[in-house]
Structures are given as structure tokens and as C-alpha cells.
Structure 1
Amino acid sequence: MPLPDRASQTLDFAGRWSNERNPQRRDIATGVWVRDSYEGRSGHNFTISEIALTESTNFSSGEAWAISLAWSGNSKFMVERIWDRTQSIGASEILLPGEVILKPGESYQAPALLAAYSSAGLDGVSERFHSHIRGRTLHPKRARPLTLNMWEAIYFDHDATKIKAIAEVAAEIGVERLVLDDGWFGARRSDHAGLGDWIVNKKVWPNGFTAIISDIHERGMEFGLWFEGEMVNPDSDLYRAHPDWVLNTGGHSENNWRHELVLDLTNAAAFSHVLEQVSAVLTEFPIDYIKWDHNRVVVDASNNLQAAVRNQTLAIYRLFSELKKRHPKLEIESCASGGGRVDLGVIDYVDRFWVSDNNDALERQRNQRWTGQIIPPELLGTHIGPTPGHQTGRSLSLSFRATTALFGHAGIEWDISKISNSDKAALKTWAAYYKANRDLLHTGKSIRIDYADENAYLYGVIDKKRERAIFSFAQLAPTTAVHPAQLTFRDLNPDKNYQVKAVYPAGAPLYMLIEPPTWLTGVTLSGAVLMEIGLPAPILAPENALLIEINQSN
């Protein structure tokens, strides 16, 4: 697509496992800037969007031209300026040599390219993508359940007594969905064995899931289960019976990664095996939700010596589609070692994305900020992790972790059977706050303020009538000035008055040794004042966040 001369910069995203979607902005120069991914999935280093913009474009103002690709396989995004200064932006699927060979009369259907223009900055781009995604007939309609995933609580230590203890506290807090992660099937007592054998391990679960699901349902919660159906361990009954069912390149040795090989879903028999075994589990037990993982890069992806990434990608789309056809109430979460498959291709087959395996709230502030550039918050799994965090070892307050997790499809990833009574009480009030406000959080317009201090974020959501808003002021690192920059807001009605106050659903943040401003207890000001003059910012200790409610006065 052509770009005007005034588009002088590009913005895209880079990353790795547990550190996805870091923004990188650069000047457009003569030549071709290419961001490609050969992972056989979109990948942790995948740029979910390529955005051209003017030098002055920020969150609230300036022009931006954004594209995204509806595809989960190999891909390429590019921006090009040639010798006569002509500029263009584009994206495509990457086809490996010989991957698509058309016979006479056949055609190739390229993945859809989605494009948006904004004259209202990067938030204008977000608004257009969010509006498009929310307008789909298959977009989740019911309230997003507060979810507890048990991976970081138990890992492979599946013990019914332990899980019941977690379920008991979860129900008391107000959790609405409990998800059992890896370790329930085949010989899966570690990540070395069992993938491909989607049959309940009778040594771990001698009576199957009936009793534990019944207990969870009786406590008013849904039950979810983990799968990784695209992979197989060499140490599995499936591989021993069908070693020819993996993607390979013929005479070369099979590429083992994380003790896994990639199951060839372009093979009809392998596809049927996964579909029927997964569907059988979903039929035998009342399972409401599955977390579907994809824990390795797809390399040497060949079927009968023909490159197979494209057909493998289409196969997982068909598999998800068939599972939902057979189980109409089923919801699916897309996980790929965290945020390795977050894209506008698989979005039409899933109901939630796991944003990152990194639950450290400080890292999640940045990750969620930029994943939300394209994906609306109700589709982003945002959990309160344990402290210290299992990925970074950093200790963070529950208040900060809870405020960070609020702005998405909220949940918990923590052994709550061991928490203190005070933490339990805080989680309970936080859960109630999430439920009371998730309609606003999941339908409102996302706003990121161009805050004057790079050490803090100010962001939130506002409803369509501009009557209600919730903002977070997050102090990521110490402020460099004696007084932080004023808190100014956007998109309020300048002629209406608003009541503004701080709220503490999971406890108050930590302030520096200076008395916080009096407006925190409540003040009424016009929209014009709040947008043009703003409020004095409290001096928060680093790694703390304040939640601010703004409600139009009668």
C-alpha cells in the first residue's frame, strides 16, 4: 500500500519468550525494512502490526498508517522507500520453496491484510482495530470470567487434595473459572514425556476428572483444561506407534526442541487422532474451556519433502473450528509459550490470548500496553502472579499486581491456598471490583495518555457516552523531578462536571514520604479542567499504581 511523503517513521514490535512486543521506532530510510518470522507460528518476535507515522505522532495526535496480517504462520512485514522517494507498506505470508504448487485452474488464497488510518494518533489506530474486532459476530458476548490458572501454583504436582484447597479459596475470593494446566495425561510427569497421548493419567487421576470437576462446578466455577495438540514427545505411545506422523525433512535427523517434535496435522490420520482424543475428553467430562499451548518453533516443517507450514497453520484453524462445532459452548485460549501466537488469524478461532508467560506486573505494564495496540483488552489474559515472580524473581505489592491485571481479561496465577488472610481479603474486593466494572473495561475506548514523565504510565478506558472512566497511574521507576507531571485526561466532555477519586480495590499504593494530594478522597471538576489543567500527581514509590475513577456528575 502506498505511503505519503509525510510518513517519516515506522513503529513495530520485537521480543522473545517472556518479553514480547517491545516497541521499536525508526526513521524510514532508502531501502527495505523487513520484519519476518519463520517460526511456523506468529512467534514471540512477531510484530503484530507495522505502523507508519509522522515524526510528531504520539498516542493522542498525529497521523498513522497501520497494517496487520490475519495469519498465524510464517510472515513478513515491510516498509520500502525507493530511489525516487516513493514509499510503501505491506505484509504477506512467507511461502517456502515449493510450498504451494498450483495445478491448472487452481488458485491461492492469500491471508487477509487489515489496514487502518488514523489522524488521532496511535490510540486512533487502536480504536479502529478494537472496533473491527468487537464487531465480529463471533466476538465473545458474555462477561469475561475471572480465571485462575494453576500452572504456577502446582506445575506438574497434580494432587486432588491440593487442587480442592485452591478451589475452596478461589470460590471464596470470587473466581469464576479454574484451569488445570499441563501434567494430567499420558506419562506426563515432566515435560519429557506424554505429549500426544490425550488420555487421563489413571495413576494421577484414578477416577478421572468427574469428582474434581463436580467439586469445582458446585462451588460455582467453570473448569478448564490444558492441551498442546500440535506437539508430540518421542517418549509417548503415539510416537512409538507412529514415528512417521511428525514433520521432518526426510533423511535429516528429526529436530527435537524442548523434548518435543511437531505432529504433522496435514496428515489426515494424525489430525484425526488429535481431534478425536481431545473431543473424547471434552465429551466425557463437562469441560468449559481449554488452554491450547504451542511450545516450540516449527522448523524442518515438511510433509513428503514438501514444505508444510501453510497447511499446518490451516490445519490448526480447522481443528479449532471442528472442536467448537462439536462442543458449541467451548471457549479456547491461544497460548504459545506465552504470547507466541497473538495474531489476527487465530483470533477468529479463539476467545482469549495468553499475553506472556511473564506475570511480573512491571513487565506486564509494557507488554499489555503494546499488545493492546491491536487486540482489545477483553481478549488479553492478564493475571495476578505470585511474589516473588517466577520469571524475574522480583517482589511486587499485591496492590500493584492487582491494578495491572485489572485492565484485561483478569485472572490469577498463584497458589492462593497459601496466602494470608489480608491478601485473601484484598483479592476478594479486587474480584468484586473487576466484576462490577468489566463491562466498562471490556467495551470502553482505550486511552493512553502522552504523560510527560517517561518513568510513569497514565492510561485507562472511557465509555461511549463519556460519562464513566477508569484510569491507572503507574509509577514504573522513581520520578526524576521533585513534583511529578500533572495528570491530564482525554475524551471527557469539556462542558460537564466529573467526580474524581482514587479507589483501592486491592489496597492502597505506597507513597513517598510526602502527604498525597487531597483530591484522592474526591473532587468535582469540569471536563475542560481535567483535560487542560489536570490534577497534581501523587508521589508514588516506584513499582506502585493508583486507580482513579472519573464519573460524570448529575
Structure 2
Amino acid sequence: MGITFDEKNKTFTLHTKSAMYQMQVDKYGFLLHLYYGKKVQGCMDYLLTYYDRGFSGNPYDAGNDRTYSMDALPQEFPCAGNGDYRTPALILKNRAGTYGCDLRYKGYQISKGKYGLKGLPAVYAGEDEAETLKIELEDQNQGIAVTLLYGVLPEPDIITRSVVICNHGCGENGVPETIFLEKVQSACLDFVTGNYDFISFYGRHAMERNFQRVPVAHGSQMIGSRRGTSSHQYNPMMILADKEATEDSGNCYAMSFVYSGGFQGEVEKDQYNQTRAVLGLQGEQFSYPLEPGEVFYAPEVILTYSGSGLNRLSQNLHTCIRKHICRGKYRDAVRPVLVNSWEAAYFDFNGDTICELAKHAADVGIELLVMDDGWFGSRDDDNRGLGDWKVNEDKLGGTLGELIGKINALGVKFGIWIEPEMVNEDSELYRTHPDWAFTIPGRKPQRSRNQLVLDFSRKEVVDAVYGQICGILDQGNIEYVKWDMNRSIADVYSAAAENQGKVMYDYILGLYDFLERLSTRYPDILIEGCSGGGGRFDAGMLYYTPQIWCSDNTDAIDRVRIQYGTSFGYPVSAVGSHVSACPNHQTGRHTSMKTRAVTAMAGTFGYELDLCRLTETEKEEVREQIKDYHKYAELIQNGTYYRLSNPFEEEAGAWEFLAEDKGEVLVNVVMLAKHGNMTVNYVRLRGLDEGAMYKDENSGAVYSGSALTEAGMPLPVELGEYLAYQIHLVREEAGHDS
């Protein structure tokens, strides 16, 4: 059973395959956090300590007991105004401007299956895969009800958390009144002991999700996004790890936000050396009015624990996202190998050049052609046309349906690029509906890429753009959509909103509504998310788009590092990764076609170059790469992923895909440094059957699983920069004489 309640101790215990999570309702009705970690026995309330602590206040209920203080006790859902001066998960303000909340336990409910969230993405699971715990808290004086939601998926070691807040409308004097949510964090982890490192993933456009590991020190350490998206700058996934934790050992905890808008994550070590981690909505520009009778749903946080190091922690998240976040036809299916027209032509194309690209794609075995930006309206550069989703038939030399028919006749699938959330001022849509874009009255707007953001907090805007996009997708056999979003949100003002503090949250609800309707209407279309590459790479988007363009930077060497950071929270099946032109368009770096392909095989795989310019020798190399990808695709997409090196610190980037039955393993390596009289690098494999022998499919060499795990294998020392290797090992049958 995943969830138990001990009536005597008033203790809730959540059980997963490898972990235990425990909390307790105390004598005053506060919900205290007791423990999260490796499975143990018994009630953990003995960890709670009570002392008279100076300047830590005491609730009125405690009378003269100065040893009881919310300022020192670990809590499940800390709120501002109850005597806890650490970072809160909830800040409420009433209409009179008074802050504070006093939440006490009211009741609970345990049910089979996994809860859902109205209008929001969330982990899903069948009744035999999960259980749900609902704990009801209330502030009787203000008429506020808070329901803490816990989803327990035992097999993948996942616990999810969310919060539902209801304004019952009685107010402090029995008069219905509006309350304002000023801060809502969906999950809090309180640790009374431990010495941790804080792992986060920072970056910028074209260099996202760099790995950062720093000690948790006194004070607060914060990551987040004020940009209206989860952002290139920080990813909404963070890890607490024992200082001694490695890829293969030690305790570590992950928190991943299932949300695509602004977020805030914080880790605080308090005055008593206790550690608190919270994750939820960005508090800036957030002041959500909750009218009497209204309900607010907070986005979900995925929690997982590993006592066996960071690789296992990541694998838990990979399984959860692959099997319980991603949905639809392509959840488990190997994705088609594609070529995208962007780096092949940018805006300089017509119907004939797209068909020519498709002919070359068919010749080398590429299965899908994507026509990127520039096919609609007056869109011949990035200064005009966004918002006018009408096919430019003059440019294409006919209708979209006719072009798709020509490409399908070559045996190639067709995909298309869209950017529904944006508008150019030089567009018919903006000239007709200027109030549909975010601009502050009386002030010139902030431009980015010479475009503005449409107000998706308004249903009529979402409906209008949705209708235009459906009008495009109905014109032919479109099997792939790249959904882009190429700027951060500023000038937040909605002409339809009475309170601007709700607009950013409602914008994301509008985005999710659009995506839900699109995926329902077109269940066979593969949608890839994108925001200038990795600017909205989060579990929320993956609920609607089973893959996301990992970065606009396609340089193979940078991508090794970008994909390394991405791997901590997201599976390979979610990572859009392509072989691009050389020299690379973002860095000017030269790498071999092989190195580019080995790097791209840590993702969905495709090409981002002009196939028409390849030599016959290069085309033959592409044909062989595609054959190799198809050979290994199931293993890459569904195998267990291991990081074998840290490319930010080591001379090689190395990673591994291991079959579930451990019968085969694929190791990919890219050399990142070259020196005179080069020393030898060794790669130690992970997870193998240590009692078995493994044969290298290429060289014929045979190794024991234990040797590969304990000592590893040497990488060749060869002349040349940025060399890459792909090693496929197959377990030998018992009794085979090698």
C-alpha cells in the first residue's frame, strides 16, 4: 500500500519502492513534516525537538509553553503569519491589506489512482499504479480551505505534490470578501538534519542548463524566472544532495515543477542548521484575487528520492516523464528522423526549394521534412507577419495542400513551424486588434525580435488564433508541428483583466487550453515544443509536446554539455537534437559528421542543414548514420540512461544506454579536449550484469561486466580534434567460449 494513516500517532506515511515520506498532525492541529528518505521503520516524531528559543514566537494555543515554536519546527506547508519567519509556501492578503494565515488540520481522504488538476498538466497513473492523499487544512477565522494533494507512484519512486485553495467567503467578520494569493509554492521539504549541496541548472539562450553544484549555506539561495516562461536562465528542476553524493552513491532529492511559466525555487538554511526547499509560482507580478466561492489550483511538483546517487535520481524522473507525463501516439513510439529547413534556408525558400530538399531527404532515408518560419503572410524576415496565419501561396507556388502532396509523393512526411503566441506590429492581426497584445497604456512596448506577446489570458484571443491554426492544419497531411515562442514576456497588461496580478498565471492556463485542444483534435500529429530552443523546457510542456527542441545551439561540443545538464531531469526521448551544418552556425566550430551524429543520438535525432549541398560521400555517411539510429533507436529512447562523465570537468563527454534486461549497452563518447602527448581517458560503464561477458559488436573484443564496471575501458589516443566513438556491447550467452 502506498499510503497509510496511523490514527494513534496521527501520522501519514507515503511508501514508494525505495523511499518513505512521513508527516504528523500534532496536538495543536499543525501538520509537521517528519521524514523523507530511505525506508525505515516506526514513527519518526522522535526527531522533533522542543526548546525555548529566543525570538521564536509561540502560538497562543501553547499557553506558557515557550518551547513550542513554528519558527523551528519542520512543516508540510508553511504559511506567513503563524510565527514562522523562514521562507513560506503561502502568503495570503485580505482586502483590508492584512497578511497572515493560520492553517490547522481538518481531515483527510485516501483514494486509488492519481488526482488531476483543472486546466493544468499533471502526472497521470492508473488505479493500480498510484494512490492519492488529500489533507484538508483550514483557517476558520478567514474562511480559507487549503487541500494538500499527494500522488504516490510506488514503482518509479515518485511522490507528487499540489495545493488547492478555496475561499469559502465568510471573512474574519462573517462578511464575504476577496482574498489575494501573494505567494503559492506547491511543495516544501523541511530537513531537521543534514549537510547538503544545492544543484541547479543555469544558462542563457543557446547555452542552457549548465550544471551548478554549490554548498547550502546560511541564508537563502534562489533560482527562478520572471520572464513568463520557465526560461533559458534557470530550469524549474532542482536537487538537494548529500555533500558526498556522487552519480552512484549518496542521498539526493529532486523537485521538478510541472509548469511552463514563471517560477521560484528556494533553498534556505535556518538559524538552527535546518534546511528548507520550496518550489512553486514566481511571486513577482503575482497577486491572484480569489473571490468568495472561487478555487485556485497550484501547479504540481514532482518529488523523487535516491539513496543510490544522482544517476538513479535522474532515472526516476526519466521514467515518470516518459510514462506518466508524456501522452499520445508518440509517447512510446520512436520519432521519425527529420530535416528542418531553418538552417538550410532560413527565410530564403519557395515551394520548389522545399521540394528539392525533400528529394534529397528521401534519397538519404530521412522520413520527415519540416518547413520552418517564412511560409505565411508577408513573412520574408522576422520583422513582420506574425499573427497572420494565412499561407503565402505565391511564395509556395500553389496551395499548402499541393506542396504537401508533392512531398508525400516522394515518401517523405511533412511538418510545419508555427508561433501562435506572438504578433508583429506589422501584421493585419495587430492592426485589427492592438489590444490583443501585451502593452501598457500610454507607454511604448518593449520589443524583442521585433514582436509582441498576445494576451493568452483572454479566451477570445486563444479562440481566434486556435481557429487560424486549425485552418492551416486542415489543409493537408501535416504530421508534425514545431510550436515556437521567441521572446520573454514584458509589459504585462491585459485590457480584459480587473486585476493584473492574475494575468501571467491565466496566460499559461490559456496556453495549456490551446495545446490541449490541439492535441485532442490532431492526435496523430507530433508536436515539438520550442522557445528559442530550450527557453521553455519543462515537464508542463512535455504533457502536451512529447519532445522539446533542446537548444538553438546545435554545435556538437556545446550540445554535449547542454544535453548533460538536461539529462538530470529529462529523458532522452524528450530532447530534440539534430546534426547541423559545418562550420556550425552558432559557434563557427568545425566537427566531423560522425561527432555531430553521435552527439545528436542523445536525442530524437534529425538534421538541420542543406542536404542539397552535401557531397556524395557525405550523403552516404548520412545514410549510414540513419541506419545506425534505427538500429539503436529503441535502446536510446527506452533504455536506462547513465551519465559516465562530467563534460564540464573532464576531457570526454560520455553517456550510456542500457537495455532493461542488461543484454545490450550503447556507449557514446565525444572527446572535448586535445593535448600533446595525450593521456589516456578511461570510461567506466554502469548497471551491467557483472557476472556476464559482453562482446564489442565492432571489434569483437569480449569483456566481463564486472571489469567494465570497476575498471572501465580505455579510449583511443588518436590525432584529430573532437573525435567521437560509439561502442555497442552485447551480452554473450551463458557457456559461450570466447
Coarse TM-score class (shorter-chain normalised): over 0.9
The match for 1:527 among 698, 705, 727 is 705
What is the match of residue 681 of structure 2? 485
Counterparts of 1:264-275 in structure 2 under 5 Å?
264-275=455-466
What is the match of residue 690 of structure 2? 494
Shift of 1:450: 4.3
Shift of 1:77: 0.7
Name the SS of the counterpart of 2:290 in structure 1: coil
The match for 2:298 among 107, 110, 122 is 110
Following the alignment from structure 1 to structure 2, what is the Cα–Cα distance between the partners of residues 443 and 241? 48
Contact 1:41 1:297 (8 Å CA) reproduced: yes
Q: Report the AA paired with residue 333 of structure 2.
A: R
Following the alignment from structure 2 to structure 1, what is the Cα–Cα distance between the partners of residues 257 and 521? 28
What is the match of residue 10 of structure 1? 198
Name the SS of the counterpart of 1:33 in structure 2: strand
Contact 1:60 1:449 (8 Å CA) reproduced: no
Following the alignment from structure 1 to structure 2, what is the Cα–Cα distance between the partners of residues 75 and 379? 21
RMSD of aligned C-alpha atoms?
1.7
What is the match of residue 552 of structure 1? 731
Counterparts of 1:116-515 in structure 2 under 5 Å?
116-136=304-324, 138=327, 140-304=331-495, 306-307=500-501, 308-450=503-645, 454-478=650-674, 482-502=678-698
Q: Report the AA paired with residue 731 of structure 2.
A: Q
Shift of 1:97: 4.6
Task: Write the deviation string for residues 21-66 of structure 1: whole angstroms up to 9, x where unpaired.
Answer: 1111111100010102011111101223111112222222222111
Shift of 1:479: 5.3
- Kindly indicate which of the two structures has a greater share of residues assigned to helix: 1
Question: What is the identity percentage for the equivalent residue pairs of Structure 1 and Structure 2?
Answer: 32
Name the SS of the counterpart of 1:142 in structure 2: coil
Name the SS of the counterpart of 1:323 in structure 2: helix
Shift of 1:543: 1.1
Following the alignment from structure 2 to structure 1, what is the Cα–Cα distance between the partners of residues 247 and 645? 6
Following the alignment from structure 1 to structure 2, what is the Cα–Cα distance between the partners of residues 94 and 461? 36
Q: Report the AA paired with residue 138 of structure 1.
A: R
Question: 1:396–1:87: structure 2 CA closer, same or farther, 3 Å change rule?
Answer: same
Question: 1:501–1:483: structure 2 CA closer, same or farther, 3 Å change rule?
Answer: farther
Contact 1:352 1:381 (8 Å CA) reproduced: yes
Following the alignment from structure 1 to structure 2, what is the Cα–Cα distance between the partners of residues 529 and 268? 61
Higher Rg of the two aligned structures: 2
Aligned length: 536
Following the alignment from structure 2 to structure 1, what is the Cα–Cα distance between the partners of residues 511 and 211? 29
Question: Which has the higher mean CA deviation after the structures are superposed, 483-492 or 342-351?
Answer: 483-492
Question: Which has the higher mean CA deviation after the structures are superposed, 382-391 or 54-63?
Answer: 54-63
Shift of 1:418: 0.7
Following the alignment from structure 1 to structure 2, what is the Cα–Cα distance between the partners of residues 48 and 405? 24
- Kindly indicate which of the two structures has a greater share of residues assigned to strand: 2
Shift of 1:180: 0.4
Following the alignment from structure 2 to structure 1, what is the Cα–Cα distance between the partners of residues 615 and 290? 63
What is the match of residue 213 of structure 2? 25
Name the SS of the counterpart of 2:404 in structure 1: helix
Question: 1:91–1:178: structure 2 CA closer, same or farther, 3 Å change rule?
Answer: same
Following the alignment from structure 2 to structure 1, what is the Cα–Cα distance between the partners of residues 547 and 597? 19
Following the alignment from structure 1 to structure 2, what is the Cα–Cα distance between the partners of residues 44 and 451? 21
Q: Report the AA paired with residue 679 of structure 2.
A: H
Q: Report the AA paired with residue 272 of structure 2.
A: D
The match for 1:36 among 203, 209, 224 is 224
Following the alignment from structure 2 to structure 1, what is the Cα–Cα distance between the partners of residues 676 and 197? 29
Q: Report the AA paired with residue 294 of structure 2.
A: E
Shift of 1:96: 4.2
Contact 1:48 1:374 (8 Å CA) reproduced: no
Name the SS of the counterpart of 1:126 in structure 2: helix
The match for 2:254 among 42, 49, 66 is 66
Question: Which has the higher mean CA deviation after the structures are superposed, 210-219 or 392-401?
Answer: 210-219
Shift of 1:373: 1.3
Task: Write the deviation string for residues 419-441 of structure 1: whole angstroms up to 9, x where unpaired.
Answer: 01111000001101111210010
What is the match of residue 514 of structure 1? none
Q: Report the AA paired with residue 569 of structure 2.
A: I
Scaled by the length of structure 1, the TM-score of the pair is 0.94
Contact 2:681 2:714 (8 Å CA) reproduced: yes
Higher RCO, 1 or 2 (CA under 8 Å, sep at least 6)? Answer: 1
Q: Report the AA paired with residue 231 of structure 1.
A: M
Following the alignment from structure 1 to structure 2, what is the Cα–Cα distance between the partners of residues 97 and 167? 47
Following the alignment from structure 1 to structure 2, what is the Cα–Cα distance between the partners of residues 273 and 216? 30
Question: 1:332–1:193: structure 2 CA closer, same or farther, 3 Å change rule?
Answer: same
Shift of 1:487: 2.6
Task: Write the deviation string for residues 216-265 of structure 1: whole angstroms up to 9, x where unpaired.
Answer: 21222221111111000000000011111112223322222211011112
Following the alignment from structure 2 to structure 1, what is the Cα–Cα distance between the partners of residues 606 and 260? 25
Contact 1:74 1:93 (8 Å CA) reproduced: yes
**Unaligned stretches of 5+ in structure 2?**
1-188, 734-738
Following the alignment from structure 2 to structure 1, what is the Cα–Cα distance between the partners of residues 656 and 721? 19
Contact 1:475 1:542 (8 Å CA) reproduced: yes
